[in-house]
Every structure is written in structure tokens, then in C-alpha cells.
């Protein structure tokens, strides 16, 4: 389903803290409405580290084209907000030109705000934007145990360079790498298990801190003039995930169906909110 071309080009943004299911929803929206996904996570822009950066797999992409995912090859390069605005703007332009719907997703809200409101709000003046916010109670947003099972330690070990101690640049800023430094420098020592335990606890604390920071930024953005932010609460869904219960039907009812309805209304309306008839 191609997006209609009347009025400004339409862009859907999927917002939310880490582990709320933004990638799954963005892919579903793109698949349903003939779209392509533009990654807005500054760490996922780097190549490699699929577990630590929590990238979607080829299977999860389900054939939906993705942009700005793993595009930065040098791990020490800084992918700045200015870089993102330039690259994302170009990618969105290509997607719109092809008649598809751009779906911008992932967690660097500072980058999203810079794109939408930066440069004298040139982007927001030229595009009709819908912001879908997946929100949940903070205690539900913990995924580290799953990441450890999926190979966080092995991935950090493969990336570790004992000659590098600067974790302020590039992909090395990703939560999961700086915290593992002390453990990886002392593997084989008598206290290695204690060091690993301390690293895991530090990663959990830093991840939760990131969650709170992300939620705070989205709450603030939702008050900005011209930002059409629609909140969907996925707390019940995540509670079932944590309990190890099946959630596909619940996801369909609690997340997908309401979001599908709002995106359909958005895509099928002009800037005044009137329905566009085919």
C-alpha cells in the first residue's frame, strides 16, 4: 500500500524506551503500509555487535528495507546528530520519492528532535509527521538477562582491545562495553566471577538509567508545538513477556490493532485531517 501523495509527504516515527518493541512495530507498520524503516539509533548505526546494540536480524526484518543500520564501518568514528540529520533526511527523501512510507524508529530521541525541529524546523515544515510512542511501566523494561544468554559476554570479549581504554567515542559508548572492561582485563584471576557479576549489575543499572532518560525525553517532546505524539501503553504485554508467556495475540490486540488504525487514519488524511477518498 503506497502512501498517498496529496499535501506534504508523510513520515511515521516510532518512539519508546529500550525493550518496548519499537523495531517489531516499525517493521509491521512498514510491511502493512508499503514502507521502509530508517534507523534512528546512534549505536545501531555502527556495524557489528548485534547483541549489544540489539539490532534486528535479517529474519526479523521480514523483507522490509532498512536504512542507516550498521552503515558506520569504523567503530571509533563519531556518528553525530548532524550526520544523522543529513543521512536520515536523504534516506527519507529516497523512500518518499519511491512512493513508500518512511518509518523512523529506534531510541536516540535527541537525533529525532534534531531532525524534526533543527535547521529552523525545515523538516517539520516540509513533512506531515505522526509520532507513535510505545510506553510501559519502567520496571517492565529490563532485558539484560536475555542479552547475556544471547552472547553479550562473548561479543564484548571479541571486541575488547586491551590497548584501548577510551569508551567515549563511536560504538564503544554502547552500554555493555565499558562495563565489561575490568572483567575482560582480569579474566582468569581469582576474582573474575565477582568482576563479571559487578559488570552485569552495572550494565543493568546503566540500562535502567537509559530507560528513564529516554522516557523523560519523549515526555518532553510530546509537549512540543506541532508534535502529534500518540501514546500506546504496552505494560501488560511486557508483563507477559517477562513471565515467559505467549504474547502474539495480546500484541495484536493491545499494540498492533490500535496503531494500525491510527496510522491508516494518518496516511489516508490530508493535513487538515480530512479523509482522502480514492
pTM for this prediction: 0.88
Buried-state track 130-143, b at ≥16 Cβ within 10 A, e below 16: bbbbbbbeeebbbb
Residues 6+ positions from 158 with CB-CB distance below 8 Å? none
144: confidence class by pLDDT, cuts 50, 70, 90: low
Reading the block at residue 195, the C-alpha cell is 568482576
pLDDT (average), residues 26-42: 97
Distance CA 262, CA 159 (A): 42
Distance CA 19, CA 34 (A): 25
pLDDT on residue 18: 84
- Does residue 272 belong to any structural domain of this protein? no
Higher pLDDT, 153 or 38: 38
User: 140 near 235, Cβ under 8 Å?
Assistant: yes
Query: Quick one: 122 and 23 in the same domain?
Result: yes
- Give percent above pLDDT 70 in the chain: 91
What is the number of domains present in the chain?
Answer: 2
Query: Quick one: 18 and 88 in the same domain?
Result: yes
Query: Quick one: 166 and 83 in the same domain?
Result: no
Domain termination residue (choose one: 166, 181, 207): 207
Query: Quick one: 74 and 18 in the same domain?
Result: yes
Query: Quick one: 245 and 107 in the same domain?
Result: yes
43-62 confidence digits (pLDDT tens): 999 999 998 888 999 999 99
Query: Quick one: 171 and 134 in the same domain?
Result: no
pLDDT on residue 145: 67
pLDDT over 60 (residue 133) = yes
pLDDT on residue 1: 52
pLDDT on residue 46: 94
Instruction: Indicate the range of 79-83, 200-204, 262-266 predicted with least confidence.
Output: 200-204
Query: Quick one: 156 and 243 in the same domain?
Result: no
Residue 247: which domain range? 10-142+222-267
Query: Quick one: 128 and 79 in the same domain?
Result: yes
CATH of the domain at 75: 3.40.50.300
pLDDT on residue 271: 52
197-246 confidence digits (pLDDT tens): 999 999 988 988 988 899 999 999 999 998 999 999 988 888 887 666 77
Helix then strand then coil, % of the chain, to nearest 5: 50, 15, 40
pLDDT over 60 (residue 275) = no
Distance CA 101, CA 144 (A): 33
pLDDT on residue 37: 98
User: 26 near 14, Cβ under 8 Å?
Assistant: yes
pLDDT (average), residues 241-257: 84
- Does residue 277 belong to any structural domain of this protein? no
User: 17 near 109, Cβ under 8 Å?
Assistant: no
pLDDT on residue 71: 93
Average pLDDT, the chain: 89
Query: Quick one: 228 and 261 in the same domain?
Result: yes
pLDDT (average), residues 246-267: 93
Q: What is the per-residue DSSP string for 195-224?
A: HHHHHHHHHHHHHHHHHHHHHHHHHHHTTS
Amino acid at each position: 500500500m503506497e502512501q498517498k501523495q496529496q499535501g506534504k509527504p508523510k513520515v511515521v516515527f516510532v518512539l519508546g524506551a529500550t525493550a518496548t518493541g519499537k523495531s517489531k512495530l516499525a517493521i509491521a507498520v512498514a510491511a502493512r503500509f508499503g514502507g521502509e524503516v530508517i534507523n534512528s539509533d546512534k549505536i545501531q548505526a555502527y556495524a557489528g555487535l548485534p547483541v549489544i546494540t540489539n539490532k534486528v536480524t535479517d529474519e526479523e526484518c521480514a523483507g522490509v528495507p532498512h536504512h542507516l543500520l550498521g552503515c558506520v564501518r569504523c567503530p571509533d568514528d563519531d556518528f553525530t546528530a548532524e550526520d544523522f540529520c543529513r543521512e536520515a533526511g536523504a534516506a527519507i527523501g529516497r523512500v518518499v520519492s519511491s512512493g513508500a512510507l518512511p518509518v523512523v524508529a529506534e531510541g536516540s530521541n535527541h537525533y529525532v528532535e534534531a531532525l524534526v525541529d533543527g535547521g529552523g524546523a525545515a523538516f517539520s515544515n516540509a513533512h506531515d509527521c505522526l509520532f507513535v510512542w510505545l510506553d510501559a511501566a519502567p520496571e517492565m523494561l529490563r532485558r539484560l538477562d536475555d542479552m547475556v544468554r544471547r552472547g553479550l559476554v562473548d561479543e564484548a570479549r571479541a571486541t575488547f582491545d586491551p590497548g584501548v581504554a577510551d569508551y567515549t567515542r563511536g560504538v564503544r559508548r554502547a552500554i555493555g562495553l565499558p562495563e565489561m572492561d575490568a572483567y575482560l582485563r582480569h579474566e582468569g584471576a581469582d576474582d573474575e566471577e565477582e568482576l563479571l557479576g559487578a559488570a552485569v549489575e552495572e550494565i543493568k543499572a546503566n540500562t535502567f538509567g537509559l530507560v528513564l532518560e529516554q522516557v523523560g525525553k519523549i515526555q518532553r517532546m510530546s509537549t512540543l508545538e506541532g508534535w502529534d505524539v500518540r501514546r500506546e501503553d504496552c505494560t501488560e504485554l511486557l508483563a507477559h513477556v517477562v513471565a515467559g508467556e505467549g504474547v502474539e495475540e495480546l500484541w495484536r490486540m493491545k499494540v498492533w490493532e490500535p496503531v494500525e488504525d491510527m496510522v491508516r487514519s494518518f496516511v489516508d488524511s490530508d493535513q487538515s485531517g480530512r479523509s482522502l477518498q480514492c
